[in-house]
Structure 1
């Protein structure tokens, strides 16, 4: 028995050493030249106006008006936090009359948006959308869509339509669709998305919507590619971020359980681009890779944002943010001269230059 225990321990130690060796010898993108350079629009990091702790309570940045920014609360679609995000600003908690049946049905599987006079709850597991008029909360609409959850979505500026990245059951992949809340007008994309029949994992990315231009941009996490399309799901242009990783760096593994095929990431995090947002014709992308001209100390200390022109895909330049480089960022949001960064622990408000 003792011999078997020693043998088992030896195997476990050997397996651990193999993993350590693989990690230590794996290529580290930010410890070697990546073949591109950045043009920083100013040498110092952009200043932080204010920093608010999330208390593990804030789920999403859901919108803004002329004076306030709004945030949803984890696990409760009827609760919203509002703040000016000025220096030393406080927060107000608002309760909206979302029906209990809606809250119960979406549970924790939702994200929200505030769009003009509307408050919208996207229940991505059902899948469903609930829309309420803030000026008259008795006016509300609820729609449930065909099978297949969605991962991202936006209310269009016309207030009537929504664009979703939704799982297509037959294709086993995610496609972009445009829907309305009468559920009588569904437009499905034609050749916008690459299909790999893996539930959309290998083509995962960040969807942005610029309300000023009415254009969507989808930025891949695992390669340097992005594309822009309009509200009729027609491609406007293709682009790429400034790094050189044109081939996806995502490795897919499959497994089977009692419910069927399961897809998962087979390797370490090899993200090229992080989260993104858009406003006034400019795309803001969280940079993950170090440029050849980045100073080790600055890049190792600060989060970096790259800017692109949405209409052409042209690179504009980059900024350091006064946010630690290792901060786990969950979302970006921009409105006029404020860039809002939602991290696991804090909401940061960054002042953008004129």
Structure 2
């Protein structure tokens, strides 16, 4: 009897582990009801830029250079299109908790979101001007050019975020609009990425937790809503927690963040989306090392095809930027330079 008990105690944990592993494998391999066009498979980087500190994003790509920001406020790494470092700029800005950088050469705009601050910096003279727009904190920005921006930010009296238009020259806001869906949760469930495409003159909002992107005009009117190719048309986080301490509110999600669209960018009338959703014609082990980039036409939301970018040193893409057939992907401490196929 003792031997049977010892044997059962020994085997039971192994059976539990095997069962959990089998369950996770079943979930990972479960079909999601869509397929990707894999006309273009895995792309290899033409160059990898190694950095000594974490990279934030590619602020801009011009005809000659790429401007890459780090987590140090005001620091910009300038490379050519082949990934060769040309210069490291250190603009005169204060330390800020949250920053986004937009470049409209020769000007760079460094925007602090927690305590709303805008630095207008001249990249040629490296001088800066500090502005304090009247308004609460922001979480996303998109540059329309010529010192005009669209922000996603909080608004007094509303437990959610709105889109607003801001003009640096007048240091003023001109309009604000709520998203079509609001949950009074500080914008946690509806969080996403904000872009502007100059070719179609459209503002895009790509949801993180839902397979949908919205198209707006520059007056912030919703023009159309398009589905991505996956089947996740509803929000994958369904609730958020609101905490109040004294006069301050904080918002957190009840559920672990489940990303559908992890990162995105737009250029020349096309939207590029790094999707976390597995297609039925993809194997989980392939996606553990490679990341699908889905391409859509902004004018009608049509899915045009996909290609894959590799992880580098086990790092996945944090952000990306495209100009022509050049795609620059920011990982964590590395930046990959890719030549991508034409989808036009």
Instruction: Give the structure-2-normalised TM-score.
Output: 0.85
Deviation per residue, 1:163-205 (Å, 9 max, x gap):
101111311111100011213442112x544221111000011
Q: 1:205 aligned to 185, 192, 210, which one?
A: 192
Pairing 1:330–2:312 present: no
CA distance in 2, matches of 1:126, 1:228: 28
Pairing 1:150–2:141 present: no
The equivalences for 1:32-47 within 5 A come to 32-42=30-40, 44-47=41-44
Q: Secondary structure of the residue that 2:288 maps to in structure 1?
A: helix
Q: 1:176 aligned to 163, 176, 187, which one?
A: 163
CA distance in 2, matches of 1:297, 1:30: 9
Cα drift, residue 230 of structure 1: 1.8
The equivalences for 1:1-354 within 5 A come to 30-42=28-40, 44-77=41-74, 79-86=75-82, 89-96=84-91, 98=92, 102-104=93-95, 107-135=96-124, 141-157=129-145, 159-181=146-168, 182-189=170-177, 191-254=178-241, 256=243, 258-259=245-246, 260-323=248-311, 327-354=315-342
Cα drift, residue 207 of structure 1: 1.4
CA gap of 1:255–1:219, structure 2 versus 1, over 3 A, is closer
Gaps of 5+ in 2: 1-15
Stretch of structure 1 that moved more, 286-295 or 176-185: 176-185
CA contact (8 A) 2:311 2:317 kept: no
> Would you say how many aligned residue pairs link Structure 1 and Structure 2?
324
Stretch of structure 1 that moved more, 278-287 or 110-119: 110-119
CA distance in 2, matches of 1:226, 1:353: 23
Stretch of structure 1 that moved more, 319-328 or 63-72: 319-328
Gaps of 5+ in 1: 1-17
Cα drift, residue 330 of structure 1: 1.8
Instruction: Give the structure-1-normalised TM-score.
Output: 0.83
CA distance in 1, matches of 2:290, 2:23: 26
CA gap of 1:211–1:136, structure 2 versus 1, over 3 A, is farther
CA distance in 2, matches of 1:175, 1:125: 15
CA distance in 2, matches of 1:257, 1:66: 48
Q: Secondary structure of the residue that 1:103 maps to in structure 2?
A: coil
Cα drift, residue 126 of structure 1: 1.4
CA distance in 2, matches of 1:125, 1:322: 34
CA contact (8 A) 1:303 1:325 kept: no
Deviation per residue, 1:268-307 (Å, 9 max, x gap):
3321111000000000000101101114443333111000
CA contact (8 A) 1:228 1:237 kept: yes
Deviation per residue, 1:70-124 (Å, 9 max, x gap):
11232332x211111416x23421233x3xxx414xx242121211321111111
CA distance in 1, matches of 2:236, 2:101: 31
